Amino acid sequence: MKNKKTVAVLFGGQSFEHEVSRVSAQSVIENLDKDKYDIIPIGITKEGKWIRYTGEYSDIGSGKWEAIALKELKDGPEASFAAISRGYPTIRDFFLEFDKNIDIVFPVLHGCNGEDGTIQGLLELAGIPYVGCGVLSSAVGMDKATSKILFESAGIPQGKYFLVLRSEINGNIRQIQKRTEETIGYPCFVKPSNCGSSVGVSKVNDSEELLKALLIAGKYDRRILIEEFINGREIECAVLGNDSPIASTVGEVVPCNEFYDYKAKYIDNASEIIIPAQLDDQTVQLIRNYAVEAFKALDCSGLARVDFFVEKVTGKVYINEINTMPGFTSISMYPKLWEACGIPYGELLDRLIDFAFTRFKENRRSYEREV
């Protein structure tokens, strides 16, 4: 009788957050209880090759894993989607080719082609349980413009914004500048609608900087957001669960740069994280309530981190965005927030896996259920 569950951990991926994913995955793998789980690391290269990795876990974060794994392959890229065309009859058969006994997948993938519903859709087709949000919530959570519509419908306060298409930039820049000045004002933020880790985000101080910022954001997505600048403290809250989610205490990020951009998050290592954030109890509870409401509005499952601004002058709370697969490094806010609530990293992973199995069973249609 099989006592341990086999967990396939996906990492890397074809996104601008490939490196962050590797570090998160190494931390997840190192903290999974080896007495409870057999672990199968599966790396996805930037070129899209899927490769089972059997080497030292410590080489995942640094990126050394890829050369080691490729060296072990003797008969070409069997672990690639090209394998489907060579005769595997189903997506499930293809996926389980990595191991015949996979019980669940933990997709530790950040950004596009991983956190945006694409991998989740593949796993749905394969009929394999997986940790985290489903196709809908992952896709909507990654698309900031669409998530804002749902936040608004849920009555969660947020800053002013409007959407611009990349195709509109060259022909309508004057109209975009005019609308920005009339409805948003300067400074403001310009960002890709579909991207994470502040990739492609610019703070814009005047009309001359606007075009440059739009062109930068347009490199990463065809949909671009122009958002109101809120002079606020950056506050984050973790959510855990399925239909009855709970919210953690809240933490504050004090960025080392002008705002919490990619460099501040992952390169400089000088930003400060304060847990718990020094806020009054009423504001903390309001943020926790909004975090759960946002989680439910997108029909999230398992986990999410919800980011807020608390305006420095008025103390008003605004939602910024939701992250359906937040960073899982040893210093990431999501596990740190739960640790502060008395849930250590290993136990947190256990709960996420349990929630994933529960949601998998709940999502089976009535005609699929055993009688």
Taking only the tens place, the pLDDT of each residue in 152-175 is 999 999 999 999 999 999 888 999
Indicate whether 94 pLDDT > 90: no
Output 147 or 95, whichever has higher pLDDT: 147
Tokens linked to 347: 């136990």
Query: CA 116 to CA 130: how far, in whole Å?
Result: 14
Q: Could you say which of 186, 208, 228 is where a domain stops?
A: 228
Q: Contact at 8 Å (CB) between 44 and 19?
A: no
Evaluate the omega torsion of the peptide bond into residue 187 and state whether it is cis, within 30 degrees of 0: yes
Q: Could you say which of 182, 205, 228 is where a domain stops?
A: 228
pLDDT of residue 81: 45
Query: CA 105 to CA 144: how far, in whole Å?
Result: 26
List of residues 6+ apart from 297 with CB closer than 8 A? 150, 151, 153, 154, 156
pLDDT of residue 257: 57
Q: Contact at 8 Å (CB) between 276 and 251?
A: yes
CATH at residue 334: 3.30.470.20
Tokens linked to 247: 């919210």
For range 309-324, the mean pLDDT: 97
Residues 192, 241, single domain; the answer is no
Q: pLDDT tens digits for 61-82?
A: 999 999 998 888 754 545 444 4
Residues 357, 235, single domain; the answer is yes
Q: What's the burial of 276, exposed, middle or buried (CB within 10 Å: 0-12/13-18/19+)? A: middle
Please state, for a pLDDT cut of 70, what percent of the chain lies above it: 86
Amino acid at 241: G
Amino acid at 353: I
Residues 9, 87, single domain; the answer is yes
For the chain, how many structural domains are there in total? 3
pLDDT of residue 52: 87
* Four-residue CA torsion sign, 56, 199, 108, 244: positive
Cβ neighbours around 305 below 10 Å, total: 23
Residue that has been written with the tokens 């390169």 in this structure: 267
Asked which of 89-103, 125-139, 174-188, 245-259 is least confident by mean pLDDT, the reply is 89-103
Q: Flag whether 366 is in a domain.
A: no
Residues 110, 164, single domain; the answer is no
Output 286 or 111, whichever has higher pLDDT: 286
For range 121-134, the mean pLDDT: 94
Q: Is 327 helix (H, G, I), strand (E, B) or coil?
A: coil
Indicate whether 188 pLDDT > 90: yes
Indicate whether 197 pLDDT > 70: no
Residues 119, 24, single domain; the answer is yes
For range 339-349, the mean pLDDT: 97
Output 252 or 91, whichever has higher pLDDT: 252
Q: Flag whether 371 is in a domain.
A: no
Query: CA 288 to CA 183: how far, in whole Å?
Result: 30
Residues 207, 279, single domain; the answer is no
Query: CA 255 to CA 60: how far, in whole Å?
Result: 27
Query: CA 207 to CA 83: how far, in whole Å?
Result: 50
- Say what the pTM is: 0.89
CATH at residue 25: 3.40.50.20
Q: pLDDT tens digits for 15-41?
A: 888 999 999 999 999 999 999 999 999
Highest mean pLDDT: which of 92-101, 167-176, 348-357?
348-357
Q: Flag whether 138 is in a domain.
A: no
Indicate whether 354 pLDDT > 50: yes
Q: Could you say which of 228, 256, 282 is where a domain stops?
A: 228
Residues 353, 237, single domain; the answer is yes
Q: Flag whether 307 is in a domain.
A: yes
- Sheet strand arrangement including 104-107: 50-52, 37-44, 5-12, 104-107
Residues 269, 318, single domain; the answer is yes
349 φ/ψ angles, rounded to the nearest 5 degrees: -65, -40
Output 197 or 330, whichever has higher pLDDT: 330
Indicate whether 91 pLDDT > 80: no
Indicate whether 266 pLDDT > 60: no
325 φ/ψ angles, rounded to the nearest 5 degrees: -140, 80
Q: Flag whether 21 is in a domain.
A: yes
For range 134-162, the mean pLDDT: 96
187 φ/ψ angles, rounded to the nearest 5 degrees: -70, 160
Q: Which domain holds residue 266?
A: 150-154+231-361
pLDDT of residue 308: 98
pLDDT of residue 66: 93
- Maximum C-alpha span of the chain: 69
**Total number of residues shown for the chain:** 371
Quote the mean pLDDT of the chain. 89
Q: Contact at 8 Å (CB) between 138 and 132?
A: yes
Following DSSP, what letter does each residue of 192-203 receive, concatenated? Answer: ESB--TTTT-EE
CATH at residue 181: 3.30.1490.20
Q: Flag whether 367 is in a domain.
A: no
Strand partners, 4: none
Residues 218, 260, single domain; the answer is no
Q: Flag whether 101 is in a domain.
A: yes
Angle (nearest 5°) at CA 256 between 255 and 260: 40
